[in-house]
Amino acid sequence: MEIIKPFSQYLAAMLLAPLLPGIINRVKAFFGGRRGQPALQLYFDLYKLFRKTPVYSRTATWVFRAGPVTGVCALVTALLVLPFAGRPSFLAFEGDFIFLLYLLGLARFATVLAALDTGSAFEGMGASREVQFAVFAEPAFFLGLAALARVGGQTSLSGMFAALTPETWRVAAPVLALLTAAFFIVLLAENSRVPADDPNTHLELTMIHEVMVLDHSGPDLAYILYGAALKLWLFAALIASMVLPRRTGSWAGDSALFLLAVLGVAVAVGVVESVLARLRLTKVPYLLITAFAFSALALIFQVGR
């Protein structure tokens, strides 16, 4: 029976992830004095896209077709090691946070290869930008997770977050605050949100992530959109578990609190997008270097504690 809880947690994450972009859009609409699209819009879009026939360019190879599937598979697998509400995940082993990082890397690699395979100038440009910014985003994320591992003395994600309690916030507040800030910046950059990227623009020349997936259609596009939602969920869940370590004894209470916190992260993203302009492309690395510095400081504080 012990398998039911992790399984339902996993299922909840998979099912609820597409809600987050909807929440962000609603927050932005609220700030703009509009009603905005339905919060469930992405579910409708996915349903629509899955019924469509994909269109492939004559010059694209299997690499192009494999990209979206590989990407979404990598993220579905990554969610396996992601703890839910501080409870152990489906799969947990020593050093699984490195496994998670590599899965994210694999998803990126597949998307970039598929983009390059189209031979389009736009997509090549997007791929170049994506990889360039990943160089700054990945170390920030990796170092942050390493600091978190030091905090709990555990190297599995489930262990790290299980060791995190409200007590930890009392003794290691600077470390956790720095990590929260670093992860939030990485979330914005990795999920093509303002100020790193503009998810709403139709202008290919300014895009980073969106421009790589311009040629995908039908179910392939659905995989990409769903994968993006899962990725957003993944980062939001990490931040939520960190900001609100469990305190009630009941599984249901913890889960509800956790879900609220995840939605809270989405609202925060929406607020950031409503009040900030996007950064100049050349300045995005500075933002990510800031995240890296936060992570590095957190690690130093933790080691010296």
Nearest to 116 by CA among 67, 80, 82, 162: 67
To other proteins, the closest distance from the beta carbon of 260 in angstroms equals 25
Among 28, 87, 216, 246, interactor with other proteins by CB under 8 A = 28
DSSP secondary structure code for residue 279 in this structure: P
| Residues in 211-270 that interact with other proteins by CB under 8 A | none
Number of residues in contact with other proteins, rule: CB under 8 A?
Answer: 31
Among 2, 249, 282, 304, binds other proteins (CB under 8 A): 282
Distance from C-alpha of 300 to C-alpha of 305, rounded to nearest angstrom: 8
Q: In the set 4, 58, 275, 304, which binds other proteins (CB under 8 A)?
A: 275
Enumerate residues 48-107 that contact other proteins by CB under 8 A: none
- Residue choice 15, 55, 276, 300 for contact with other proteins (CB under 8 A): 276
CB of 165 to other proteins, least distance (A): 37
Of 208, 216, 163, nearest in space to 55 by CA: 216
**β-sheet bridge partners, residue 84:** 87
SS3 289: helix
Interface with other proteins by CB under 8 A: which range of 15-23, 88-96, 168-176, 276-284? Answer: 276-284
CA distance 172 to 184: 18
Options 25-33, 141-149, 171-179, 229-237: segment touching other proteins (CB under 8 A): 25-33
Q: Are 28 and 274 in contact (CB under 8 A)?
A: yes
Task: Decide: 199 and 187 in contact? Cβ < 8 Å.
Answer: no
Report the distance separating Cα 216 and Cα 11, nearest Å.
27
Q: Applying CB under 8 A, which of residues 90, 169, 264, 278 lies at the interface with other proteins?
A: 278
Least separation, in Å, of the C-beta of 270 and other proteins?
10
Residue 63 is encoded by which pair of tokens? 């690499």
User: What's the sign of the alpha-carbon dihedral 86, 87, 89, 94?
Assistant: positive
Q: Is 36 in the site for other proteins (CB under 8 A)?
A: no
Alpha helices in 32-153 (DSSP H): 41-50, 62-80, 96-117, 121-152
Q: Taking CB under 8 A as the rule, which mask of x and - marks residues 104-143 in contact with other proteins?
A: -----------------xx-xx--x---------------
Residues lying near other proteins in the complex (CB under 8 A): 28, 31-34, 121-122, 124-125, 128, 194-195, 198, 200-206, 273-283
